[in-house]
Structure 1
Amino acid sequence: MNEELAELIRQAMTGDKTSFGKLVCRYKHHIVNIAFGIVGNPHDAEEIAQEAFLKAYLSIYKLTSETAFYRWLVKITTNLSIDRKNANAKQYPAPLEEMGTILDNPRYTPEAILEQKERQRLILTALEQLTAEQRTVIVLRELQGFAYDEIAEILDIPLGTVKSRINTARLHLRDILTQERS
């Protein structure tokens, strides 16, 4: 973490609204992506991100260190996302345009873009078939790049449980995607 970011977090911890607003701008995309990865609905993901930032703002003074800010924010987001996922009886399909980014680059042919969208659709469909616990650890590990110990801390579960869930989720994803290709 660079000193400028650390200072911004310290100022936000003292109640500085402008500093917190800058943190929201900096992390919004990451937080929405984490929520989307878990709930699979872009509108829910936006709402979860807003709720996560509100919760963080209301309790940021409780942080003991600026270095803990991002993981703490991810933990809030993850918990809210799991709660939302469990509360939603109805599953919402995600529009292809909103589920990922395809670069607007002239070197991509229409066929390549179509193939990329199909891969994204298959992956999201496969993720939906995982349990909430498996989906959460896969999103945090594979899509957000968190280390196993960070995931254990974020989810407040043992490291062995994280490893087991990730392994099981990978096996399920492989089986699901293999069946889809057949």
Structure 2
Amino acid sequence: MRAHLDGDPQSFNELIRRHRTLLRIVALRVLENHYDADDAVQDGLLRAFRSAHTYAGRSSVGAWLRTIIENTARTAARNRQRDQRRVTEISTSRLTEIEQVGADPAEVVTDRALIAAALAQIPGPWRRTFELVKVNGLSYAEAAEVLGVPIGTVRSRINRANAARAQLRARARQDGGNLLGSSASLLY
């Protein structure tokens, strides 16, 4: 650290090389996602580079870097939780967008009830992903970011939710009734 503060351009790279693996583990422990952990390490190291002059030497350089990375990761986790709450709150406003201007209020209430019933039929593990993509209109990539999962997981959850909905519709047809009414198409 002293060499870095004295202007040696390679010394900070050496600090990164020595501590990179441990710093990534610290971030991964907080964020539980490899992509987010990598971002937190990068952001934290940038902060450390910019604030190297504040290093007082009361602890080892490794401990100082771990503290910066852990704080950066915790901030990222809080931001992710905030973003997830915000997206979840969009559901009711998105339902309003689906409703047509000038629609019969009785039909609007019925449509909302049918949409809620349709969503309730989707098994829990896939429902949130389905809502984000099909109701809130997020892309698969955006939903993956909100949920903190790979895009392939989002695709498989949507496929499984669609399969569950297809089975429900087939059972309703076999029973001679239409369990979800004409508004089921709003979810597809």
Q: TM-score range by the shorter chain?
A: 0.3 to 0.5
TM-score w.r.t. length of structure 1: 0.44
TM-score w.r.t. length of structure 2: 0.42
Larger Rg: 2
